[in-house]
Amino acid sequence: MRQRRHNPDARRAANARANRRGVTLIEMLVTLAVLLVMMTLVVRIFQAATGSLNAAQVYQEIDGQFRRLDSVIRSDLAGATAKMTPPNDPQNHTGYFEYIENEFADIQGEDCDDAIRMTVKAPAGRPFTGRVWLPPPNPSTLTAVEASNYFSSTASFQPITVTSDFAEVIYFLRNGNLYRRVLLVAPERQASIVPTLNNTATIMVGTPSTPATMPTSPPSPFLSSFMPTGLNSLQVSWQSMNDLSAHPAPRGTPYNGNVVILNTLSDLTDRENRWPNQRFADDFLNLSGVDAPDGLADDFNQDNVPDYYPTLYPTVISAPVNNTLVWEPVPYPRTHMPAMAFPFVFPGMYSRPQVWNTGGLNPGWIHSPEPLAGAALNQYDQAPLAYLNSINHAPIDIGDNLPVPITGATGGSSEYQTWWGFPTWRETLSPFWTDPTYPVQGVTSIGLAPGQPRGLAYQDASATVVSDSGNLLPAMNGNYRVIPQPFTDGMGTGVDGAGNGFFVSTNAATNTALSNLWNSGWEDDLVMTGVRSFDIKAYDNSLGTYADLGWGDDPRLTTTLVGGSTTAGGVTTPTPMGTTLFTPYLYGNYDAYNGAYAFPAYANVNGGFFDVVNQTFAHEGRMPPLVNDNRLDASNPNPTYVSPTSYTPAYPAVPTYSSNVGDDNVSIFRLRRTWDSWSTAYTKAPATGINPPRSPLPGFPAGPPFSPPIYPSYPAPYPAPLRGIQIQVRVTDPTSQRIKTLTIRQDFTDKL
């Protein structure tokens, strides 16, 4: 028998197979855990790298926007045309410069309601561009068929692009959106624009080819259908089709020539001609006293002085203060006083006025904190720091650590903005925006009531909640725009057909058309989103730094003063040495050196004494001023004036005249905390004339040096020159996690 030979390799393989075992559960779990840890680390590393890349991209994008914004703002400031020492003479063609401070910054140091506007000359080779709506051809040169084909084509109503070396430029912040509104100063295009009245063309002249189908003169049904159209053939306003700076004609019948007058730089020196300020007219009656403008400035007492002048406002006419001035005689009822709101401000620039706890006094403070509630903590004269902490004019996002504004006099639950600023281009698309096509001197006989264009109507500052009835962009109330958060401006609603929001009609079809118009439009003048603050400060020579207008009333800067006395509500109260007074310049020009309200008032700033009114920006700059502001007639000041109650009369025959142009009436809509290049039209109002025939001395000269001036002349709100400004823009990224700041400073010493 053959013996089997042993194979060592085979035995080792068999033993190995016999000894092999599977992976245990514990080993699998350990392996899986290690793998998960490694994957987590990889994911975390990838997320960190991606997050850093995204953050870098966000910062890079913001930096790019900042560079563009920085370039645009610096170019505009460098091209400012106005002389920065008030006042400017319109005959010098210098335009204007206006810096609006409104309230102080909130507790976070953010300022949302500053604005700046000016006339600017463009850099060489880089003119401003804008739309202009060209008129159709004269129907008298067309056959009936040609006219029918032309006027039935909406393509003929589209605007074209034009350029100009000068423009009116407005910057303002609203709800996290920074806007730059540009309106060309191009008076040379006066002959080529469409002359309209309330958005209805009035260019039908001559004899039509087919009288049976073509009307010969306005108004007519044919003309009523010829309106600015655009954006899918929807009717829009004249202003949205014309990026031109313009104002309504101040005199003449509405159909006598062109109602829209394109502004020159000279026109814009006067506040009433700027966009979108309240408008002025001085021609309401004809020579027979009938309500029908005749193209001549009204002068019914025949003293060679116009009956209406830009430095008038309603209270001046009806209730002169202490007989301090001799007002222009009025033989005709002043039914047009709402057209005379001095000093010509856009009502939407301010929210409802502050509620005071001192005898109903309203010394020019226009803003109220939110929520209003009427509590003493929300009244500046009771608790100024609490007041500042309550201000939140433009809430940016849910989660903002400041109080959310609440509408209504007694509070509510809806969230609203407390400040509106200026209208945007998208908002003026509405065909109900009638400025500047609506003349103030309307004629009742043809159905055009006198008054301000829709959206610019005078607002009574004495009301707790300013009504918005009949206005397009009034103050906030329960029927106004709910602002979606974050970073959007809503189109609003018009629930009562009185002109609330973008919607103005109760007709469903009209509201649908307006909704389509809003949705078809875009934010044409939006330059940056996610902006938390747009803070502007002026260089104050007394401080040697940049500060807010009215900084003397900021309790964070001015806290303790020497003793003296305070005057509030007509009551003078002594104060001991070291008394803390948070509002030294609020009730008047407080003399910090003497510890009393006096004229002139001085402040001890940095070891030097400065005239508060004429050399600093510490005061409120109210215009019209209060009596305690001690502002004198700019053209005819009383050289012996000491105080409203202590002076030597400048005119012996009128011992009550002191030349103080102050007025404490609470219903006055005051300009305040606004540096304005001003106009000599206000500082040199008509002061002399000829006594009318029925006066005691007919034909004898009236006014200085024999009697007080016929009209008051108002000094600039801030006579001190504007040597420079600082603009600081704070922008947050879309996640609200990072904030970057842009600071721009512009020196104006070459424009003084």
Higher pLDDT, 655 or 322: 655
CB 722 within 8 A of CB 101: no
**Helix/strand/coil percent split, the chain, to 5:** 20, 20, 60
Find the mean pLDDT for residues 89-114: 88
The contacts of residue 262 (CB under 8 Å, 6+ apart) are 185, 186, 187, 189, 190, 193, 244, 245, 246
Give the span between the Cα atoms of 64 and 538, in whole angstroms: 27
pLDDT of residue 298: 84
CB 281 within 8 A of CB 442: no
Q: What is the pLDDT of residues 165-212, one digit of tens each?
A: 999 999 998 878 899 999 999 999 998 887 676 665 544 333 333 323
Map tokens 């400025």 to a residue.
435
| Three-class SS state of 706 | coil
pLDDT of residue 378: 61
pLDDT beyond 90 at 744 = yes
How far does CA 231 lie from the centroid of its chain?
27
pLDDT of residue 211: 29
Find the mean pLDDT for residues 723-748: 88
Q: What is the pLDDT of residues 639-673, one digit of tens each?
A: 999 888 888 988 887 888 889 988 877 667 778 89
| Three-class SS state of 721 | coil
What φ, ψ does residue 463 adopt, rounded to 5°?
-75, 145
Q: What is the pLDDT of residues 427-468, one digit of tens each?
A: 888 877 888 988 888 766 666 677 788 777 765 555 444 444
Highest mean pLDDT among 430-434, 480-484, 569-573: 430-434
Output the CA angle 243-247-248, nearest 5 degrees.
125
Give the span between the Cα atoms of 582 and 557, in whole angstroms: 9
Map tokens 């060679």 to a residue.
304
* pLDDT grade for 77, boundaries at 50, 70 and 90: very high
pLDDT beyond 60 at 475 = no
What φ, ψ does residue 212 adopt, rounded to 5°?
-70, -25
Find the mean pLDDT for residues 357-373: 54
**Average pLDDT value over all residues in the chain:** 75
pLDDT of residue 410: 42
Q: What is the pLDDT of residues 203-213, one digit of tens each?
A: 433 333 332 33
Give the span between the Cα atoms of 579 and 716, in whole angstroms: 32
Give the span between the Cα atoms of 266 and 398, in whole angstroms: 45
Highest mean pLDDT among 446-455, 478-487, 599-608: 599-608
What φ, ψ does residue 480 adopt, rounded to 5°?
-100, -165
The contacts of residue 234 (CB under 8 Å, 6+ apart) are 513, 516, 517, 520
Lowest mean pLDDT among 428-437, 566-575, 628-637: 566-575
Strand pairing partners for 646? 643
Strand pairing partners for 503? none
* pLDDT grade for 310, boundaries at 50, 70 and 90: confident
Map tokens 């509106």 to a residue.
420
* pLDDT grade for 713, boundaries at 50, 70 and 90: very high
Q: What is the pLDDT of residues 30-75, one digit of tens each?
A: 888 888 888 888 888 877 766 666 666 777 777 888 899 999 999 9
pLDDT beyond 90 at 635 = yes
- For the beta carbon of residue 277, count every other beta carbon within 10 angstroms: 22
Token pair of 122 as six digits: 């463009």
Give the span between the Cα atoms of 153 and 182, in whole angstroms: 29
Lowest mean pLDDT among 72-76, 601-605, 633-637, 686-690: 601-605
Higher pLDDT, 388 or 494: 388
* pLDDT grade for 97, boundaries at 50, 70 and 90: very high
* pLDDT grade for 702, boundaries at 50, 70 and 90: confident
Pairing of strands 674-676, 646-647: unpaired
pLDDT of residue 91: 96
Give the span between the Cα atoms of 170 and 365, in whole angstroms: 23
Give the span between the Cα atoms of 478 and 408, in whole angstroms: 6
| Three-class SS state of 690 | strand
pLDDT beyond 90 at 679 = yes
pLDDT of residue 212: 30
Find the mean pLDDT for residues 678-702: 85
Give the span between the Cα atoms of 355 and 349, in whole angstroms: 18
pLDDT of residue 562: 47
Highest mean pLDDT among 12-26, 236-250, 277-291, 732-746: 236-250
Output the CA angle 680-684-689, nearest 5 degrees.
145
Find the mean pLDDT for residues 685-696: 81
Compute the radius of gyration of the chain from its Cα atoms: 33
Looking at 209-256, which runs of residues are DSSP E strands?
Answer: 229-230, 234-235, 246-248
pLDDT of residue 549: 94
What whole-number percentage of the chain has pLDDT above 90? Answer: 24
Find out whether the peptide bond into 221 is cis, omega within 30 degrees of 0.
no
The upper half-sphere exposure of residue 61, i.e. CA atoms within 13 Å in the direction of its Cβ, equals: 13
Find the mean pLDDT for residues 394-398: 53
Give the sign of the dihedral formed by CA 641, CA 642, CA 645, CA 647: negative
Give the span between the Cα atoms of 77 and 168, in whole angstroms: 12
| Three-class SS state of 344 | coil
Token pair of 15 as six digits: 């033993």
pLDDT of residue 485: 39
pLDDT of residue 655: 83
Give the span between the Cα atoms of 730 and 533, in whole angstroms: 5
